[in-house]
Amino acid sequence: MKSNFARSRIRTALRGTTDARPCRVLLGVMISLCFSDLALSKDNNDNSNSEDDSAKTASTLPNIYLDLRTIYTTLPANSLSIGFSPGSISSIIPVLQTLSTLTNPPAIPTRPTLSTPASRSLGLDVPLTVDLNDRLTVYGGFSATTTQLGSTDWSTFAVTSWNVGFQADLYQQNGGSIPTLTLQSTVTRAVPDSPLATTSLNTIAEFDYALNKDETKGLLAGVQITLTEIDTPLATINPNIIGYVGGYYQWDNNWKFTGRAGIQSFGGAQLPILTPFPSFTQPTVRLDLDRMDDNDNRLFGVTAQIAWVPKPAYQLTIRTPLYAVRN
C-alpha cells in the first residue's frame, strides 16, 4: 500500500542526472518508450472497435484533478498553529492579515501591547494536481478563506494565498525490506501583500513500510519542517518541526484509515505590538479516513487534527477530488 499521498498505479522508474548527455539519453529512452507503447497499443487494438481504442488512449494520460480541500480551523487565544499538513499554513495567513491592520503603521514604543483573541477560519484549498507517474506528483493552486477573530464578524471570503509543490517517491519498497521514502515540498505565499505577508516552505519526508504483499497495511514514520518568512523585519516566525509515527489499514471495500501521532516543536513568534507567541513542544495527532478506488486513487477523504499549542487547536478537512482524467 502506498503512503496516504495521492498516487496512480503506473510504475515508471525515474533516475536523476546532472549533465546534458545523460539528459539526452534519458529523453531518448522516454521517447522510445512512448513510441513503443503506441505501437504495442496499435497491435493490441487491431481487432477492437473505436470505443476500445479511445479508452486505451485515455489510459495513457496522467491523473489530472482538482484536489479540493475544505478546511475548518479553530485556534485558541495567543497562539499560532502551523499544523500537521502542507496546507495548514494557509489557515494562519488570514489571521496574520487581519492582525496586520493593528500594526500599520509600524509599532512604536508608546503603543500598547495587544493579545490575540481566539479565532476560527473556514477555507478552501484548490490545487490543480497532476500524477505524472507512480513516483511523481506536481500541484499548484490557491487558497480562499474567511476568518473570525474573537467576537468580530466573519471577514469577506477571499483568496489569501497561492501554493506550488511536488511529491516524489525517492525509493519504493515493492515487496522488499527497505521502506518507501516519499518527499513532499510545498511553497505557500500570502496574497495580497501586507505588513505581515508570509512566504513558507513546508517539507515532509515519510517512510512507509508495507506489512503485506498487497500493501493494504503498514507502518509510517516521518518528519515535517516548516520555515516561514515575514516581509517586515519587525516580525519573525521561527521554524516548526514535527516528528511522528503511525500506520494504515485498507479494507477490501477500499476504505482506508491512517493514523499519525507525534511531537510538534515550535520556536515561537514575535509580531509588532502583539504579545509574543511562546515556543512550545507538545503532542499532535492526525487521523485520516479515505475512500479509494481499485487503482488507489482517492475519491473522498476526511482528516481530523488536534494540535496542542499548548491549548488544543482543532482542524477538520474534507477532501473531494474532481477528476478530469482518472486511471
| Tens of pLDDT, residue by residue, the chain (327 residues) | 444 444 444 343 333 433 444 444 444 444 444 444 444 444 444 444 555 555 445 567 899 999 999 999 998 888 777 766 655 565 566 666 666 555 454 444 444 556 678 888 899 999 999 999 989 999 999 999 998 888 888 989 999 899 999 999 999 999 999 999 999 999 999 888 777 788 999 999 999 999 999 999 999 999 999 998 988 888 888 999 999 999 999 999 999 999 999 999 999 888 777 778 889 999 999 999 999 999 999 999 999 999 998 899 999 999 999 999 998
Give CA–CA dist 260/243, Å, rounded: 10
Give CA–CA dist 87/109, Å, rounded: 36
Cell of 20: 546534458
For residue 314, give every residue at least 6 positions away whose Cβ sits within 8 Å of its Cβ, in sequence order, or none: 73, 74, 304, 305, 306
**Structure confidence at residue 85 (pLDDT):** 61
* Beta strand 198-210 pairing with 255-266: unpaired
Dihedral pair phi/psi, residue 154, rounded to 5°: -65, 140
**107 touches 273 (CB < 8 A):** yes
Cell of 96: 496574520
**Structure confidence at residue 37 (pLDDT):** 44
